[in-house]
Amino acid sequence: DADVTQTPRNRITKTGKRIMLECSQTKGHDRMYWYRQDPGLGLRLIYYSFDVKDINKGEISDGYSVSRQAQAKFSLSLESAIPNQTALYFCATSLDNDIQYFGAGTRLSVL
Amino acid sequence: GDSVTQMEGPVTLSEEAFLTINCTYTATGYPSLFWYVQYPGEGLQLLLKATKADDKGSNKGFEATYRKETTSFHLEKGSVQVSDSAVYFCALSDWNDYKLSFGAGTTVTVRA
């Protein structure tokens, strides 16, 4: 089983809908991250969490919210999806300021 | 702020060819440098890293040397295989920072 699991793997939704992307990890790390990947832009950080009570905005948090339900679970929500949120979303975990471990990604299309 | 610039792709090579992907960085502190690889349909995984100047990271035949004087961390492999087809990301993490700064990614396709 994967150390970092993202669900769903693919999602198509309509403009204005609320959706949630989920991430769970078995590595026992305190730190978790949400990124989006767009062609030619690399990965950009949306939100990060250093523990259950510590959640912070990243570079591009507008239009997104997160919930850290437990050490192992970190969910990303799009309150009202819009087409320019169509992207590949990755969850990651880390022990410290070193290696990050990524899930397989969620491909989201907003029509 | 910290940033990473890597060569644009896509790069297409024949099997057994030499691969170089250039990466330069800007950082205010003492960053650790990473190469991550993303195979088709998968998430990113660490390929190699270097934590201080003149360190060489290596893995799976790939190498990169941390060059502080040229602020570079170029990725090289002497003889690529079809299985090396992937997107490669250069990234840095400053010692007092929480986040990875990524380059735009370079798509590499190796043809048999």
- Summarised one tens digit per residue, pLDDT across range A49-90 is 999 999 999 989 999 999 999 999 999 999 999 999 999 999
Structure tokens at A91: 């969850």
CA distance, residue B5 to nearest chain A CA (Å): 10
Task: Kindly state whether B76 is in contact with chain A, defined as any CB-CB distance less than 8 angstroms.
Answer: no
pLDDT at residue number A108: 97
Q: What is the four-CA torsion angle of A84, A88, A92, A97, rounded to 10 degrees? A: -60
Question: B109 and B13 in contact (C-beta within 8 Å)?
Answer: yes
- Give the nearest partner residue to B100 out of A40, A100, A105, using CB atoms: A100
Count Cα atoms within 13 angstroms, Cβ side, for A69.
Answer: 11
A31 and B104 within 8 Å at the Cβ level: the answer is no
Mean pLDDT of B65-92: 96
Mean pLDDT of chain A, nearest integer? 94
The pair of three-digit structure tokens given for residue B43, joined into one six-digit string: 């998430």
For residues A11-20, give the mean pLDDT: 96
Determine the pLDDT at residue B22.
Answer: 97
CA distance B40 to chain A (A): 10
Answer whether residue B72 shows pLDDT above 80. yes
* CB pair distance less than 8 Å for A98 and B32: yes
Residue A1 has pLDDT above 70, yes or no: no
